[in-house]
Amino acid sequence: MHFWKRDLRADLINTVPASASNPAFWQHMVTFGISIGLKGTLDPKVDIPALTSGAKVWPNPMDAEDQERIDDLFHASVNGHGAFVAAGNPDEFADGLGSALRAIAARRGSGSNATVTGTSTSAGTKVFQAKFFSSKWYGEVQAYPVSASGVDIANPIWTASVPVLAARSIYTHNGTAGTTFPTAAQNLALTPVVANYIRGDRTQEPQFNAAGLLRDRNTLLGDIVNSSPTYVKTSTTVETVYVGANDGMLHAFNATDGIERFAYVPRGLDLAKLKAFSAPDYSHHFFVDGPIVTSTSRDLSNRTVLVGSLGRGGRGLYALDVTDPTIFGPAKVLWDKDSSFDGDMGQVLSRPIIAKLNDGSTGLIVANGLNSSSERAVLFVLDLVTGAKIAEIDTGVGSPATSNGLAAPRGWDDDGNGTVDIVYAGDLRGNLWKFDLSDSNPSQWDVADNRPLYAPIAAGTQPVTGGVTIAVDPATDKRWVFFGTGRLLSTGDITDTSRQTWYGVIDEVGASSSVTRTSMTARNIALFDAGTKNRAFEPNSPLPNGSKGWYIDLDLPPGNTLEGERMVGDQQVVKNALIAGSIIPSTSNPCLPGRGYINAIDAFTGTSLLTGLFDANRDGEFGNDTMGAGNTAVGSIDLGVGMVTDPALLDRLLVAGGSLATLASTPLDPALYGGRISWREIIRR
């Protein structure tokens, strides 16, 4: 207890991840004990309740024999919030040691974005968050109530649940059409026992059957790491939350009570890895880990189509008709593309676009992502309903020696007729691309001006892996494109502290060359308060004449310290405020959750907002949240959720999750509201 309850490094910030079994957030020691061959007078498996209630007491080891001293090691393990195993044979010792090591490595977290049911804080508004638990690689989806005062994380409305095996509806694709899971080929590759395990059969788990040989699971829902919950309301009463999990399935949950409606197993999964999902020594794999997007009534009349990807789980896309998820069946599986579809299609990690196209169709615009055969940055345009390829636009940049891939696309309706004319997207080499889809003939769609809109000075050092957003400056009528740089795609990225940057680029029609940093205006993070973790950008000032945009290097004042800060999520523009999250992984210890900021600046100058967006001191006022002698508005806040995910903006409230698997909110300046400048709004108008 001594080394658990005392801060062993008082000079360090207390950011140790806590858990239900170990609430300590300070630097402490956790005790794991293993006795080999000798047992105490107490049974660690059954006596904890009696010891807790006082029905039994801990023996005094000071004048006792060996058995009571074994009990003392058990006592130390309990007080140290670890675990104790009395091993009577080599197998029990190996199991106990393995269990201890897994517990040491275990953590809970969230890498997906929180999703809300609407844009107001009126009664009935909910926020959904997905989580993962690495102890046994299981997941959780919860719904929380939201009000004007924030998110009530202490009282979830529901926690998602999966029905018993006989009541589940699970579907897949056999290469020709939708069908029930498993197909004959899947059953052969997985074996019937494992296929049933994946479907939810628990009779082969040792916790339910002493002779069981498959892995014990806490729940039937696998871990959810990067797939974000997607809320869809397809009628006045039918509300559903969709999310991909690393149990091999897309899950559809009733948004009212959290009960699973149906699940879908994409055909592009690696079945050998999925078979290993049942093994007692399972080592984690990604399966259905990608983003989800759904159509609206503007895209297709009286029909809702969901498109998902495997993300880090493989090269695959699938489309489902979810117009009425209460009657989902094999016929509602529209198409499913695996790695054989096109060698230029990689692992799709970013949300596609669903939009009306200038050839009259409704299309799916997809960035090819990572690890394609060509390793080039490629944009695909598919027919939403059939999956047929309408166009493939290759930037020509990238090769197996200099791998590349296209990141999240964003569309723009240039003439206001409801169709997408231009698509912007960044790539891993640091380019920002502009694609021209304005012609009625898809064969004419191409890279605008045959060059990047923005080109980095040193290719590959500032990858664009997050989203871009677009807005028009009402003062100048110039179109801007905003994005950040950095990556967090592999373990090697965690320790990378190279300089990353936030960019705002002006897209000027008729420009003769790509925009570069040399033609843009440098802005900076001017102030940092180590106590509150608040930051301020340089004071508000207009952009110099002739500047092609602005950039802000993500280093910390004073001294321009590089902490590994990067931007890997989406950007949002509301009025003249540009809002984006940035993250800082823990470079010293990858087991720590890292941290991050919600940032807000003047979109069209790259400087501080004249009036702060955040009520940083929670006094109900926004004009007095300033820093420095110049009273510069607070522009960055740390919500204390770890590495922050994309925020959801409600009426006067910002909600965000993070790697600590919790949610936080902060009030927003009411003067901000009145209109969002984004592609969707322009299409709507």
Domain final position from 63, 90, 105 = 105
The predicted structure's pLDDT at residue 679:
40
Percent of all residues in the chain with a pLDDT value above 70, rounded to a whole number:
88
Q: Is the pLDDT of residue 321 over 60?
A: yes
Domain membership of residue 40 (yes or no) is yes
Alpha-carbon distance 220 to 13, whole Å?
A: 36
Question: Is 367 among the domain residues?
Answer: no
The string of pLDDT tens digits covering residues 444-471 is 999 999 999 999 999 989 999 999 999 9
Q: What angle do CA 10, 591, 243 make, to 5 degrees?
A: 130
- What lies within 8 Å, CB to CB, of 45 at 6+ separation is none
Q: Considering the domain boundaries, does residue 668 fall inside one?
A: yes
Domain of residue 681, residue span: 465-685
pLDDT interval class at 55 (50, 70, 90): confident
Average pLDDT over residues 193-217: 97
Report which of residues 64 and 426 the model is more confident about. Answer: 426
pLDDT value, residue 19: 55
Q: How many domains does one find in the chain?
A: 2
Q: Residue 179 gets which letter from DSSP?
A: E
Residue 289's Cβ-side half-sphere holds a number of Cα atoms within 13 Å equal to: 20
Q: What is the pLDDT of residues 492-521, one digit of tens each?
A: 999 999 999 999 999 998 888 999 999 999
Percentage of residues in the chain having pLDDT higher than 90: 68
- Please indicate, yes or no, if residue 510 is contained in any of the structural domains: yes
**Tokens representing residue 372 in the block:** 């394609």
Chain segment 646-673, per-residue pLDDT in tens: 999 888 899 999 998 899 999 998 887 6
Domain assignment present for residue 334? The answer is no
Q: Is the pLDDT of residue 390 over 70?
A: yes
Q: Is residue 678 part of a domain?
A: yes
Do the domain assignments include residue 185?
A: no
Q: What is the pTM of this model?
A: 0.86
Distance CA 392, CA 388 (A): 11
How buried is 118 (Cβ within 10 angstroms: 0-12 exposed, 13-18 middle, 19+ buried)? middle
Q: Which of 57, 81, 105 is the last residue of a domain?
A: 105
645 inside domain: yes
Closest among 270, 346, 340, 263 to 309, alpha carbons compared: 346
Q: Which residues contact 264 (CB under 8 A, 6 or more apart)?
A: 170, 171, 172, 249, 250, 252, 318, 320, 333
What confidence score (pLDDT) does residue 64 get?
A: 57
In 247-362, which ranges are continuous DSSP H helix?
A: 271-276
Average pLDDT taken over every residue of the chain = 89
* Separation CA 76–CA 25 (nearest Å): 19
pLDDT at 678 over 90: no
Pairwise pLDDT comparison (684 vs 94), residue with the higher score: 94
pLDDT digits (tens, 9 = 90+) for 325-368: 999 999 999 999 999 999 999 999 999 999 999 999 999 999 99
Final residue of a domain: which of 105, 136, 159?
Answer: 105
Largest CA distance in the chain: 91
Tokens 């309740």 belong to 49
| Dihedral sign, Cα of residue 438, residue 443, residue 444, residue 446 | positive
pLDDT for residue 474: 94
